[in-house]
Chain A
Amino acid sequence: MKIALTLINFPEKCIPKEWKIEHNIKLLEVDGRCEALEAILEFNNNDNRDFKKLLSTFKIQLRSKKILHEGSRLSKYSANKEILEFKSNRGHSRLFGFLSENSGSIIICTNGYWKTTGKKAKQDAAFRRADTLRNLYFD
């Protein structure tokens, strides 16, 4: 069965176009469902201030040629370093994605989750989901 993949724009209300200096940023929709967009709305509804911290991470990333250093704002999947977890610093919002350089440099967000303490399994599952979506995209 054929899967429909679409790249949609990150809402400009969240990522103004003037932030997109070195990279563009898009959200992956698979068969009419956009998990990243669902996550964005959940983050904003849960805690608008925490969500804005995640957006500040993206603002830093979008102006930097290189992918951010791993730390409080970014983690990489141990099984596939191409899978990136963007984080709100000292917060709960987590958005996953990868870099595509097929037509310009685009960060493609796949899915996300709201981190709560001691839920490593949830993070692992989100990383695996992002990896699966990335494979779908490149296949």
Chain B
Amino acid sequence: MNPTHKKTQELLEEINGLPNLDFDKDPEFLADYANGLIVQDILNLMDKKQISQTELANMIGKSRQYVSRILIEKRNFTIKSIASFACALNCDLNLSITERKTAANVEVNENVEVNKLLLSS
């Protein structure tokens, strides 16, 4: 082993000592993730339905370059543009913001269940 390389354990300790990455509190991370998910959904559907970029562009009334830039994530989506892809691909669109499960609200939900039981008994 080359002695200039740090040992794995040292590297792991260094990583564990870094500040928390806080994915859930980072809008940039959530946006990048959501963008990537939507693009993969479109690509999967294009594969499944055997639709080319040119055909998809025609279906949504945009240029092939526009579709290409969306699919390589060089152009951001608007909700309207996501909807146009969903309509063209004959798909439902589900966008929602849901409450994150945390220890606190799980406890609240459990209490609701307990109260329901008490009321029904």
Q: Which chain A residues (78-101) contact chain B, with CB distance < 8 Å? A: 89-90
B15, B32, B74: the one contacting A53 at CB < 8 Å is B32
Q: Is B7 an interface residue (CB 8 A)?
A: yes
CB contacts (< 8 Å) of B36 on chain A: these are 56-57, 60, 73, 89
Which A residue sits closest to B17, measured CB to CB? A13
CB contacts (< 8 Å) of B90 on chain A: these are none
Q: Given contacts A44-B18, A49-B28, A89-B32, are A11 and B12 in contact (CB under 8 A)? A: yes
Q: Once the chains are docked, how many angstroms separate the CA of A14 from the CA of B29?
A: 13
Q: Is A122 an interface residue (CB 8 A)?
A: no
Which A residue sits closest to B35, measured CB to CB? A89
Q: Which of B18, B32, B35 has the most CB of A within 10 A?
A: B32
CB distance from B109 to the nearest CB of A (A): 18
Q: Which chain B residues (18-55) contact chain A, with CB distance < 8 Å? A: 18, 20-21, 23, 26, 28-29, 32-33, 35-37, 39-40, 43-44, 47
Q: Is A21 an interface residue (CB 8 A)?
A: no
A55, A64, A89: the one contacting B73 at CB < 8 Å is A89
Q: Given contacts A64-B40, A90-B73, A90-B74, are A13 and B14 in contact (CB under 8 A)? A: no
Which B residue sits closest to A27, measured CB to CB? B8
Give 10 nearest A-B pairs by CB, closest first: A56-B33, A69-B43, A72-B73, A56-B32, A32-B1, A37-B11, A11-B15, A60-B36, A34-B8, A72-B72
